[in-house]
């Protein structure tokens, strides 16, 4: 069995071995030449023990997930709608094929981000515009773009002159982190008995929606289940959060199917659910409480505030991405994260839940079925 040893333990074993092997070395007092030499060797050996220990720990963690077939959840692709248009009414029908590539305009800080249409749409004769669904070609939060930012064509369809997105895209998510995987694995272990509240919550978190090409479009990032005893015996309410915004009707329906159980559409094999027999399960989207953030930033000397705004926004967004249902937003923690952005000398951060009518520097807490989300854009004063 592997035992991690400290420098003192290694040193003592070296001294003991030397005393039992020879009478020529006898001075092992602190500061002696022999002890100093042994201490340097023991320090290196301790470091090797530490490296081996950490490597074994990482290997065990990873192998447990591998053996049980429990990989990290992949990044999701941001999706949304764009509007293709003309300056004058169309003189004929113009087809915009699925796979048409469009992109955001490049800036000094960001390269262009490409999106592709997922369906054929037709701009009818006499019309000025038509809406089409698009998906980012790169998974992750990179596809979460601001409204009006998609304005360029990579492949311009005939008869089309303009393109834009009217709303913000927020449903692109990064690959699951190790901590998130660990939490989900713990819920998985709790779910093995089935028919329990933890089991229902884990079952909901396994739900995913993919497109015809297998791209992950939406998933349940977290879920909470509630029993309301004794007033509503035999019922469980499940609230799901997709990590971006209000969960789609398709995701809610799929979650209900997964929890309840179903037959595989191709093989007919039963896919067992997670709820107890005879229990009614209701699935709802978690309620998003939008938080408006006001920032008073003092940049360091020689730093332009406009240059560091993207990094400030990233820190704020990353903080909100870790919040779960019913959690508290810690104002001081968020303010500290902004203060640590390179180029920020001082910051004062205020929060609002009423669209900026009133602000506070207190913590904000969501209800059990609510989750705090960021309302873009950040307000700088």
Residues 74-89 have a mean pLDDT of 92
CA separation for the pair 223, 240 (Å, rounded): 4
pLDDT attached to residue 68? 79
Please confirm whether the linkage preceding 143 is cis (ω < 30° from 0): no
pLDDT attached to residue 42? 94
- Give me 272's structure tokens: 């067992």
pLDDT digits (tens, 9 = 90+) for 33-61: 999 999 999 999 999 999 998 888 878 77
Residues 204-221 have a mean pLDDT of 87
Choose the weakest-confidence range: 92-101, 149-158, 163-172: 163-172
Q: What is the pTM of this model?
A: 0.67
Residues 339-350 have a mean pLDDT of 94
The domain locations on the chain are 7-67, 79-164, 193-285, 289-380
Q: What angle do CA 115, 118, 124 make, to 5 degrees?
A: 105
Model confidence band, residue 63 (pLDDT cutoffs 50, 70, 90)? confident
Q: Which residue has the higher pLDDT, 281 or 324?
A: 281
Statement: residue 296 has pLDDT above 90? yes
Burial 332-370 (b: 16+ CB within 10 A, else e): eebbebbbebebbeebebbbbbeeeeebeeeebebeebb
Sequence-ordered alpha helix ranges (H) in 276-355 = 305-321, 331-339
**DSSP β-ladder status, 270-272 and 261-263:** antiparallel
Residues 288-301 have a mean pLDDT of 94
Give the DSSP per-residue string, 168-202: -----BPPPPHHHHHHHHHHHHHHTT-SSHHHHHH
CA separation for the pair 258, 275 (Å, rounded): 10
Residues 244-269 have a mean pLDDT of 91
Residues 327-331 have a mean pLDDT of 94
pLDDT attached to residue 263? 94
Find the Cα–Cα–Cα–Cα dihedral 292, 298, 299, 300, rounded to 10°: -150
CA separation for the pair 364, 349 (Å, rounded): 13
For all residues of the chain together, what is the average pLDDT? 90
Residues 197-218 have a mean pLDDT of 89
Residues 260-285 have a mean pLDDT of 92
**DSSP β-ladder status, 261-263 and 235-241:** unpaired
């Amino acid at each position: 069995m592997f035992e991690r040893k400290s420098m003192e333990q290694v040193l003592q074993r070296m001294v003991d071995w030397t005393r039992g092997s020879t009478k020529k070395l006898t001075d092992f007092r602190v500061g002696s030449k022999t002890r100093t030499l042994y201490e340097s060797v023991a320090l290196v050996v301790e470091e090797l023990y530490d490296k081996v220990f950490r490597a074994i720990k990482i290997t065990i963690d990873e192998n447990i997930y591998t053996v049980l077939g429990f990989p990290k959840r992949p990044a999701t692709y941001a999706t949304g709608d764009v509007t293709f248009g003309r300056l004058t009414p169309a003189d004929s029908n113009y087809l915009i094929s699925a796979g048409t590539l469009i992109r955001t305009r490049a800036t000094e800080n960001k390269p262009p981000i490409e999106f592709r249409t997922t369906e054929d749409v037709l701009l009818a004769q006499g019309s000025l515009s038509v809406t089409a669904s698009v998906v980012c070609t790169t998974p992750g939060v990179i596809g979460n773009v601001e409204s009006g930012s998609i304005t360029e064509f990579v492949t311009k369809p005939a008869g089309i002159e303009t393109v834009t997105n009217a709303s913000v895209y927020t449903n692109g998510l990064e690959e699951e982190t190790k901590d998130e995987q660990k939490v989900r694995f713990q819920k998985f272990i709790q779910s093995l008995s089935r028919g329990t509240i933890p089991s229902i919550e884990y079952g909901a978190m396994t739900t995913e929606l993919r497109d015809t090409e297998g791209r992950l479009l939406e998933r349940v990032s977290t879920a909470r289940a509630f029993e309301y005893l004794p007033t509503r015996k035999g019922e469980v309410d499940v609230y799901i959060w997709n990590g971006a915004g209000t969960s789609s009707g398709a995701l809610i329906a799929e979650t209900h199917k997964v929890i309840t159980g179903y037959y595989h559409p191709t093989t007919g094999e039963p896919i067992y659910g997670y709820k107890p027999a005879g229990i009614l399960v209701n699935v709802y989207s978690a309620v998003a409480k939008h938080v408006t953030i006001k920032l008073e930033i003092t940049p360091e000397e020689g730093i332009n505030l406009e240059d560091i705004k993207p990094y400030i926004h990233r820190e704020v967004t990353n903080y909100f991405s870790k919040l779960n249902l019913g959690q508290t937003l810690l104002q001081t923690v968020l303010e500290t994260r902004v203060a640590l952005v390179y180029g920020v000398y001082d910051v004062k951060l205020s929060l609002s839940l009423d669209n900026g009518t009133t602000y506070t520097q207190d913590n904000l807490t969501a209800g059990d079925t609510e989750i705090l989300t960021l309302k873009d854009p950040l307000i700088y004063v």
